[in-house]
Each structure stands twice: as structure tokens, then as C-alpha cells.
């Protein structure tokens, strides 16, 4: 038997609300933004298009939950405090705040393009999918062989220092691949010494380029958002921290040759 969201959340004066279906904006997934920085997520709800889409007092905000098609994560209820020419000033209310990041809602979606709609046209169709024990903080560690993650997803993980990911990655050396989805170019790198993969990738998350010459040129010109839009990380090999650094360096050179990342990618040596 399905449970309607209306049995959990009582909305008074529903015509004071619009519903925000937050989806990919061409640069980032809202789920990554929500996990990484709640202030940045609030900014998504202050967005004001040419049509002033969020024209009512309250915003019932949902985030596309990409791990399960047809579901949305409750992102809070915001109040529009002030309307400026190019954005709205919003504040997160206390209304049902205990459900933020925990309440997963099943719904097919608005059925038309756009992100803001009258809540009364959709509220009765919202069905409970799941209530998480704790607010969603990003995906669990997926295993070394399954890492093929975009920069924004990893950024959320590293900013939070998620224990499962940190424990796994700081205890291995290895060879990794950064692929640029905009042009297909690749960069092969390695992590050895006492730092492990976690430390090396933390540098990329912080700078966008990890101080690699070719990547640094791009990020200095295009900004860190270029990394967020285009860089995808994966592990080619991982080894115990006891492995001799020489072995890691030799395997790095092998992968550079195999993938031609010097001739057709971002490696210079």
C-alpha cells in the first residue's frame, strides 16, 4: 500500500507554494551540490529566471536522486524573503526540516520542461519511497574497481572526508586516470610514497589540476568549473602501501604508453 507524502507533510495554504524539481543545470547535479555545500544549495533555490518562476512565498524543494530513477530527495522548504532583479533572497524554514536529506519521494516528475510548478498540481502524486536513517551524505565506497566518478561527486566525498572512502583510498598506492569528457584526452598519474590515493586526489579536489602542467594551464584559463564539468577519475591499478615506489612508477609509465596519453593526452613525460 502506497503512502502519500501528504500523510507525513501537512501543507497549509498550498497555493502559497511552488514545487522545485531540481535537476542537472548543464554543469552540475543538484544532489552533488546539496551534499557538498548547503549554502550553495540554498542558492539554487534563490535562482530567478526571466519569468520569475518562483513567484510564490514558499518553495517546496526536491532534488533528483540519480541513484534511483523516478525518485526525489526532499531538500527543504524555503521562504522567499526578498525579490531582487536577478535573484531571490531565500531562507530555509524549519518546516519539516528533520526530513531534509532523509525523505525519498517517488514521482514521475513534472511532465514538462521547467523547474518550478504549482505545488497543488503535483502534491497529491508524491509517494513515500524511503526514509533514510540519516541525511544523505553521498554514495558509499563502491570498491576500487568500480571508481569511475566525476569531479563533483568526488568533491562532495572529499569535502566531507567520508570515512569509508578515506579509509579505503588513504591505504593504497596506485595508478589513476583522469579523462576529459569534453575532448577525450587522458591524464595518467600515480600516487606513491606515504600519501596514498586519498592525499593525491585531495590535491586535485582543492586545485582542480593537482599541479600537473597541462591541467594547470586549462584550469588557470577556464577556472575550476572546467574540472567540475569535464573531469572523470578512475583507478587503473591499486597496490598495498608496502609496494615499492619503483613498481608504481613503472606501472604508471606502462599505462602512459598503453593509452598514448603522452601523444594524444595531457601527459608530458
At 200 the three-state DSSP class reads helix
Residue at 136 is within a domain: no
- Total domain count for the chain? 2
What CATH number corresponds to the domain at position 189? 3.40.1440.10
Which H or E run contains 131? strand 127-131
Do 37 and 108 sit in the same domain of this protein? yes
- Closest by CA to 201, choosing from 211, 216, 115, is 211
Residue at 137 is within a domain: no
At 98 the three-state DSSP class reads helix
Do 73 and 158 sit in the same domain of this protein? no
Tell me the C-alpha distance between 41 and 30, whole Å. 7
Do 88 and 193 sit in the same domain of this protein? no
Residue at 51 is within a domain: yes
Single residue among 106, 131, 156 that ends a domain in this structure: 131
Q: What angle do CA 193, 196, 199 make, to 5 degrees?
A: 110
Which H or E run contains 78? strand 71-83
Residue at 267 is within a domain: no
Residue at 269 is within a domain: no
Do 127 and 154 sit in the same domain of this protein? no
Which H or E run contains 100? none
Do 105 and 160 sit in the same domain of this protein? no
Do 177 and 99 sit in the same domain of this protein? no
Do 82 and 10 sit in the same domain of this protein? yes
Do 174 and 74 sit in the same domain of this protein? no
pLDDT, residue 54, reads: 87
Q: Is the pTM of this model over 0.85?
A: no
Residue at 86 is within a domain: yes
pLDDT, residue 166, reads: 97
Do 119 and 198 sit in the same domain of this protein? no
Q: Which residues span the domain enclosing 93?
A: 5-131
- Closest by CA to 190, choosing from 137, 263, 143, 247, is 247
Single residue among 96, 131, 166 that ends a domain in this structure: 131
Do 235 and 158 sit in the same domain of this protein? yes
Residue at 242 is within a domain: yes
At 243 the three-state DSSP class reads coil
> pLDDT of the chain along its 269 residues, tens only?
899 999 999 999 999 999 999 998 888 899 999 999 999 999 999 987 767 788 899 999 999 999 999 999 999 999 999 999 888 999 999 999 999 999 999 999 887 667 899 999 999 999 999 999 999 999 899 999 999 999 999 999 999 999 999 999 999 999 999 999 999 999 999 999 888 999 999 999 999 999 999 999 999 999 999 999 999 999 999 999 999 999 999 999 999 999 999 999 999 98
Residue at 237 is within a domain: yes
Amino acid at each position: 500500500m502506497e503512502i502519500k507524502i501528504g500523510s507525513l507533510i501537512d501543507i497549509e495554504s498550498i497555493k502559497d507554494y511552488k514545487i522545485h524539481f531540481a535537476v542537472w543545470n548543464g554543469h552540475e547535479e543538484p544532489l552533488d551540490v546539496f551534499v557538498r555545500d548547503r549554502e550553495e544549495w540554498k542558492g539554487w533555490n534563490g535562482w530567478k529566471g526571466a519569468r520569475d518562476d518562483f513567484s510564490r512565498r514558499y518553495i517546496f524543494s526536491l532534488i533528483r536522486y540519480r541513484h534511483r530513477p523516478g525518485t526525489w530527495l526532499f531538500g527543504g522548504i524555503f521562504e522567499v524573503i526578498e525579490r531582487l532583479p536577478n535573484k531571490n533572497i531565500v531562507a530555509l524554514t524549519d518546516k519539516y526540516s528533520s526530513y531534509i536529506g532523509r525523505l525519498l519521494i517517488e514521482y514521475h516528475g513534472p511532465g514538462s520542461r521547467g523547474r518550478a510548478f504549482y505545488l497543488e498540481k503535483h502534491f497529491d502524486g508524491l509517494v513515500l519511497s524511503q526514509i533514510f536513517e540519516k541525511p544523505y551524505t553521498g554514495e558509499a565506497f563502491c570498491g576500487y574497481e568500480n571508481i569511475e566518478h566525476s569531479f563533483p561527486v568526488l568533491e562532495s566525498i572529499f569535502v566531507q572526508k567520508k570515512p569509508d572512502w578515506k579509509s579505503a583510498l588513504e591505504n593504497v598506492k596506485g595508478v589513476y586516470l583522469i579523462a576529459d569528457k569534453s575532448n577525450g584526452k587522458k591524464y595518467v598519474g600515480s600516487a606513491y610514497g606515504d600519501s596514498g590515493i586519498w592525499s593525491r586526489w585531495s590535491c586535485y579536489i582543492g586545485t582542480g589540476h593537482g599541479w600537473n602542467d597541462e591541467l594547470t594551464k586549462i584550469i588557470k584559463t577556464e577556472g575550476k568549473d572546467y574540472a567540475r564539468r569535464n573531469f572523470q577519475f578512475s583507478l587503473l591499478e591499486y597496490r598495498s602501501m608496502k609496494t615499492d615506489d619503483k613498481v608504481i612508477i613503472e606501472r604508471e609509465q606502462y599505462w602512459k604508453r598503453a593509452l598514448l596519453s603522452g601523444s594524444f593526452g595531457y601527459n608530458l613525460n
